[in-house]
Structure 1
Amino acid sequence: MTTFVLASASPARLKTLRSAGLDPTVIVSGVDESQADGLPPFELALQLAELKCAAVAARDEVPGDALVLGCDSVLELDGEALGKPGDPAEAVRRWQAMRGRSGVLLTGHCLRDMATGRVAAATASTTVHFADVTDEEIEAYVATGEPLWVAGAFTVDSLGGAFVAGIEGDHHNVVGVSLPLLRDLVIELGHSWTSLWAARDDAQA
Structure 2
Amino acid sequence: MNAIARFVVTLVAVALLGAITLVAYKAAKPGQQRVELLDPAKVIILRTPGGMLEVATLKKVEEFGWQARYECPLIDCSSILQPTISRVRVPVHYVYRVPLAETWELQLNGDHYELTVPALQPASPVAFDTGKLEVESQRGWLSPTQASNERSLMRQLGPELDRRAGQDAYLRAVQPHAAQTVQEFARKWMKEQGRAEKLPVRVQFRYSP
Aligning the two structures, in what range does the TM-score lie when normalised by the shorter sequence? Answer: under 0.3
Which structure has greater helix proportion?
1
Q: Normalising by the residue count of structure 1, what TM-score does the alignment of the two structures yield?
A: 0.23
Q: Give TM-score, length-normalised by structure 2.
A: 0.22
Write 1 or 2 for the structure with the bigger share of strand: 2
